[in-house]
Amino acid sequence: MLSQKLIDAINEQIQFEYYSAFAYKAMQAYFEGEDLTGMANWMDIQFQEELSHAEKMFQFVCETGGKVEVMEIKAPNNKFDSVLEVFKETLKHEQEVTSRINKLMDLAQEEKNHTAQIFLQWFITEQIEEEANVSHIIAKLKRIGADGRGLMMIDQDLEKRVFAPPA
């Protein structure tokens, strides 16, 4: 069973995961408008992942006897000036997600809730991958600078990404 404090904290994270999904959908829209379909695809996969993370948390709260409380989701940023800016914002966002997940783990450890700790470990591991993937894209974008051919190569590479639902 989860304490009410832990249920409330996970409910806030569920809301943030939905916000994250919409933030990535806004970024996808930017890339679609720039005719960068590979980057748009990459953001669509991020959107799908965030929805699946919210659902995973939703199910966990329900399965452990808690009540999910659906909250208001604020509108994400819809204005971007460059490809690099979008990915820098993505990294900053993923770092915020990591911080939030770590705080959830801290709470689960404080409460000695082993079930929640085991559940949250998957998200901690996931965040390592999320931040690394974005950091690699940023490094490539910085390396190519204003070279349009390089940008197209990165775009083509990101087109290959497919969504794999979490287990």
Domain over 4-158 is classified CATH 3.40.50.10420: no
Binned at pLDDT 50, 70 and 90, residue 165 comes out as confident
For residues 57 and 74, give the distance between their C-alpha atoms in angstroms, rounded to a whole number: 19
- pLDDT at residue number 33: 97
Q: What's the pLDDT tens digit per position in 64-94?
A: 999 999 999 999 999 999 999 999 999 999 9
pLDDT in tens, 35-63: 999 999 999 999 999 999 999 999 999 99
